[in-house]
Amino acid sequence: MEVAVLDINGKETGRKVSLSDAVYGIEPNNHAVYLDVKRYLANQRQGTHKAKERGEIAGSTRKLKKQKGTGTARAGSIKSPVFVGGGRVFGPRPKDYTQKLNKNVKRLARKSALSLKAKEAAIVVLEDFNFDEPKSKNFTSVLKALGLEDKKSLFVLGEPNKNVYLSSRNLKTSEVVNVSELSTYAILNANNLVLLEGALEGIETNLSK
């Protein structure tokens, strides 16, 4: 599949690049995509939720009232869950939600996501660029030139670029990642995928193993 290379003004440079069918032209595996997205979202959970149970509540340990003869249920501790301010029964505890997935499945999921974007004609190849200084205005002008100012977009860089990353950080609808940070969730969460020329080789190398 051949795609025209655009410049930051949204105009064709006269050059075309060939996208590998082994990465951008496979039959999408929906189950692999599901597993990888579920893994990604699960790994975002901190798992630091915690509620105090009756043994962890600070309070007196004296018996509240005599065992018999009150006409009500017996009570031995103010920290009992039945009282206001008492411990919680079976409350949440810290938990590790991390899920693991085989490399081949993750690779298949990313190739499936890229193939879906290719079928939707939602992939743009942009020549490598840089900014003299980090300014959101510069990045916004690139989005407008590409017609993506009102759409979710994901820019994939071949190597870290601090000025480009900082210029996009304040924009809610755009995200900038390196090739090594590319995930199935990020690809599917964007309406359009903008691949810089320098990232193409890295993507195909990582996903063709």
Quick one: average pLDDT of 88-113? 95
The whole-number pLDDT of residue 57 equals: 93
Interval 75-85: pLDDT, tens: 989 999 999 99
Least confident of 43-47, 107-111, 158-162: 158-162
- Same domain? For 62 and 136 the reply is no
For 12-55, the DSSP string reads EEEEEEEPPHHHHSSPP-HHHHHHHHHHHHHHT---------TT
Residue-wise pLDDT for 177-203, tens only, equals 999 999 999 999 999 999 999 899 999
Percent of the chain with pLDDT over 90: 86
Is 96 in a helix, a strand, or coil? coil
Q: Check whether residue 19 and residue 79 sit in a common domain.
A: no
Q: What is the spatial distance between Cα 134 and Cα 203, in angstroms, rounded to a whole number?
A: 26
Read off the pLDDT of each residue in 117-128 and give the average, rounded to a whole number: 93
- Domain containing 170: what range? 2-45+101-207
**Statement to judge: residues 52 and 141 lie in one domain:** no
Both 112 and 16 in one domain: the answer is yes
Same domain, 76 and 144: no
Rounded-to-integer distance, Cα 35 and Cα 95, Å: 20
* pLDDT number for residue 208: 81
Answer yes or no: do 51 and 143 share one domain: no
Instruction: Indicate the pairing of strand 192-196 with strand 174-178.
Output: unpaired
pLDDT for position 139: 93
